[in-house]
Amino acid sequence: MGKLFGTDGVRGVANAQLTAEMAFKLGRAATAFFGKEHVRPVFYIGRDTRISGQMLEAALAAGICSAGGQAVLLGIVPTPAVAYLTRKHQGQAGVVISASHNPYPDNGIKFFAGTGYKLPDAVEDKLEELVLAEDDSMPRPTGENVGTITHHHDLIKEYIDYVVSTVNCRFDQLKIVVDCAQGAAYEIAPVALKRLGADVIVLHNQPTGTNINDGCGSTHLEKLQQAVKEHRADIGIAHDGDADRCLAVDETGAVVDGDQMMVICALNLMRHGKLKDNTLVTTVMSNIGLHQAIKKAGGKVLVTQVGDRYVLEGMLEKGYVLGGEQSGHIIFSDYSTTGDGVLTALQLINAVKESGKKVSALAGLMTRFPQMLVNIRVATKDGWQDNRQISEAIKAGENELGDEGRILVRPSGTEPLIRVMAEGPQLDHLEKIVKNIADVVKKEQG
């Protein structure tokens, strides 16, 4: 991991760790890098609703112009809209200014390649090297060669047209509640649903710059659950701050998580013969109930390590069309190069509409087994895999669970933590097993 780029771009508290100066340098570095192969490289830039977004957008665009690039400002749009529009209009890169589901003081800057996919690690490393260099030797053109800035929020219409075109049927007679998280979905999500004929009740679509994700959206489902029951809606949809994922609520107000959403969509694709090799791609964190539901339907599950980039790698390697995470970060590779919350919501509702069943009935096709997760702070993460005592504790837990559950032990990618997760039919049994393993990890690594 580099000094700047984490698992999802450069992140930090805006104007503290992530400063305007940093955004300016990132703009210069990206222009210098992509300018080697393209004269006046074009960057499509989108942001969420955070108050700091305009500051970082202005600094980033200034950096691009100072190195001779062209900045196309899309305004407030979802992350996947930036990926889509960059690819469609053949830009050299897309840039998203967002910290996703984090609180409003945080912000982030992440890049997409012109293909619409996230930048490879090697390119991020090169950008980092340019930003952190002691001497700035990057181009500083003058006169007519200085870069330009154009504003094109109107391109949002192209993205709406596109996501609406990916579904097969209209949503007439469906009442849908959508929680926009006071974030990047606030304009797009209601329009797309109404375009398809739904009766739409909209929550949290009045962003102020400081209320993004505040008690709303996919990390706070309580108000959505309440609204679905009050309005007797058929389904509720909740987005996160940058709208690259979503979760759902059924007509009874019960949560439908990313695993259940993937099962619903996978089974619908299987019925149409459109799920390649009848295979769904998901991470080690997906519930055992997902595996059972897919197996029962005659399908298979390809398991990757945690992270949407690993899900996407697994999908691209074999040409699989559906994959995602329990968090609701789901990728439909026939339509998108990254997780897309609005597109996912439309695909889910489309599957519900085609089935003729209620959301609760479809979600019930997967039994969601209880999960118990404990994070153990350790002095070192090194060597835990080879520790005999830890291995024996894990083995003892696995023997107790048998075929009815599983245990997953893994280190955190960013903190001095080892995570112990167990899954099975009875929560009290899981608590005992996890505690036993956690005690050994603490003793051996603490």
Is 174 among the domain residues?
A: yes
Is 160 among the domain residues?
A: no
Residues 190 and 334 in one domain: yes
Q: Are 343 and 189 in contact (CB under 8 A)?
A: no
pLDDT computed for residue 3 by the predictor: 78
**How much is the pTM?**
0.91
The answer, yes or no, to whether residue 269 has pLDDT greater than 60, is yes
Residues 298 and 339 in one domain: yes
β-strands 406-411, 330-332 pairing: unpaired
In this prediction, residues 338-345 reach a mean pLDDT of: 97
Residues 289 and 416 in one domain: no
Q: Where are the alpha helices (DSSP H) in 156-196?
A: 156-165, 188-195
Helix (H) or strand (E) holding 336: none
| Residue at token pair 């980092």 | 128
Give CA–CA dist 368/97, Å, rounded: 35
Give 130-144 pLDDT, tens digit per residue.
Answer: 999 989 999 999 999
β-strands 106-113, 9-13 pairing: antiparallel
Report the CATH number that the domain containing residue 392 is assigned in CATH: 3.30.310.50
Q: Which of 52, 66, 98, 100 is catalytic?
A: 100
pLDDT-derived band at 1 (thresholds 50, 70, 90) equals: very low
Report the CATH number that the domain containing residue 33 is assigned in CATH: 3.40.120.10
pLDDT computed for residue 159 by the predictor: 98
User: What is the percent of the chain with per-residue pLDDT over 90, rounded to a whole number?
Assistant: 84
Q: What is the DSSP string of 338-400?
A: S--HHHHHHHHHHHHHHHTS-HHHHHTTS----EEEEEEE-S--TTGGG-HHHHHHHHHHHHH
Q: Among 199-203, 261-265, 394-398, whose mean pLDDT is lowest?
A: 394-398
The answer, yes or no, to whether residue 2 has pLDDT greater than 60, is no
The answer, yes or no, to whether residue 100 has pLDDT greater than 80, is yes
pLDDT-derived band at 411 (thresholds 50, 70, 90) equals: confident
In this prediction, residues 266-292 reach a mean pLDDT of: 95
pLDDT computed for residue 330 by the predictor: 97
Structure tokens at 342: 């609005």
Residues 285 and 389 in one domain: no
Residues 39 and 137 in one domain: yes
CA torsion angle for 423, 424, 427, 428 (degrees, to 10)?
-110
Residues 83 and 190 in one domain: no
CB neighbourhood size of 139 (10 A)? 15
Spell out where 222-276 has E strands: 235-239, 246-249, 255-256
Give CA–CA dist 48/45, Å, rounded: 11
The answer, yes or no, to whether residue 414 has pLDDT greater than 80, is no
Which domain does 350 fall in, by range? 166-363
pLDDT computed for residue 371 by the predictor: 87
Q: Are 227 and 236 in contact (CB under 8 A)?
A: yes
Specify the DSSP class assigned to residue 149.
Answer: E
Give 197-218 pLDDT, tens digit per residue.
Answer: 999 999 999 999 999 999 999 9
Q: Is 355 a catalytic residue?
A: no
The answer, yes or no, to whether residue 7 has pLDDT greater than 80, is no
The answer, yes or no, to whether residue 30 has pLDDT greater than 50, is yes
Single out the residue in 136, 155, 174 at which a domain terminates.
155
CA torsion angle for 324, 329, 332, 336 (degrees, to 10)?
-140
Give 347-387 pLDDT, tens digit per residue.
Answer: 999 999 999 999 999 999 999 999 888 999 988 888 898 89
Is 161 among the domain residues?
A: no
Residues 207 and 329 in one domain: yes
